[in-house]
Amino acid sequence: MLGVISNLPFIRYNRRRFLGMGIAAAIAPILLNSCSNNQKTRNSGSRTIKFSHGSGLCNLPLFYASEKQLFEQYGFSGTTALTPFNADIAAQLATGQVEMAVIPFTNAIAAYTQGASFQVVAGSGIEGLIVVAKPEFKSFQDLKGRKIGTFQADTLDIIVYDYLQHEGMSYSDVEMVYFGDSTEVLNAYLAGQVDAISSIEPYATKAKTSTNGNVLGDGTDIYGAGYPDCVVAARNELIQNEPEVVKNVIRTFFEAQYLIENNFEEAAQTTIDKYYKTDIASLLQAAQAQPPGVDIRNKRDFMYSRAESMAALNYINQKPDNNFVNFSLLEQVIQESPELWQRVRVKTEAV
Specify the higher pLDDT residue, 232 or 117.
Answer: 232
pLDDT above 50 (res 20):
no
pLDDT confidence of residue 122: 98
**What gap in Å lies between CA 266 and CA 68, rounded to an integer?**
11
Tell me which residue range forms the domain holding 159.
Answer: 129-217
Judge if 91 and 182 occupy the same domain: no
- For residues 283 and 145, membership in a common domain is answered with no
Tell me what the mean pLDDT of segment 131-154 comes to.
97
pLDDT at 252: 98
Query: Helix (H, G, I), strand (E, B), or coil: what is residue 13?
Result: coil
Query: Quick one: residue 128, left, alpha or beta (phi over 0 = left, psi -120 to 50 = alpha)?
Result: left
Domain count, the chain: 2
* pLDDT over threshold 90, residue 10: no
Q: Do 89 and 103 share a domain, yes or no?
A: yes
Which tens digits make up the pLDDT trace of 263-311? 999 999 999 999 998 889 989 988 889 999 999 999 999 999 999 999 9
Residue 210 and residue 183 in one domain: yes
Query: Do 335 and 265 lie in a common domain?
Result: yes
Query: Is the per-residue pLDDT at 315 higher than 50?
Result: yes
Question: In this structure, what CATH number is given to the domain that contains residue 274?
Answer: 3.40.190.10
- For the residues of 207-271, what is the DSSP string, one character each? HHHHHT-EEEE-SHHHH-TT-B-EEEEEEHHHHHH-HHHHHHHHHHHHHHHHHHHH-HHHHHHHH
For the whole model, what pTM was predicted? 0.88
**Same domain, yes or no, for 270 and 205?**
no
Residues 238 and 313 placed together within one structural domain of the fold: yes
Question: Are 271 and 302 in the same domain?
Answer: yes
Q: Is residue 43 part of a domain?
A: no
Are 159 and 220 in contact by the 8 Å Cβ rule? The answer is: no
* Contact between residue 318 and residue 113 where contact means Cβ atoms under 8 Å apart: yes
Q: Which pLDDT belongs to residue 46?
A: 79
Read off the pLDDT of each residue in 212-218 and give the average, rounded to a whole number: 98
Q: Would you say 104 and 301 are in contact if contact means Cβ atoms under 8 Å apart?
A: no
Indicate the DSSP class of residue 272. Answer: B
Look at residue 15 and tell me whether its pLDDT is greater than 90. Answer: no
* pLDDT for the residue 277: 85
Task: Please tell me the distance from the alpha carbon of residue 214 to that of residue 131, in angstroms, as a whole number.
Answer: 8
For residue 142, the model assigns a pLDDT of 98
SS3 content of the chain, % helix, strand, coil (to 5): 50, 15, 35
SS3 11: strand
Q: What confidence score (pLDDT) does residue 8 get?
A: 37
Average pLDDT for the chain: 88
Do 269 and 140 lie in one domain? The reply is no
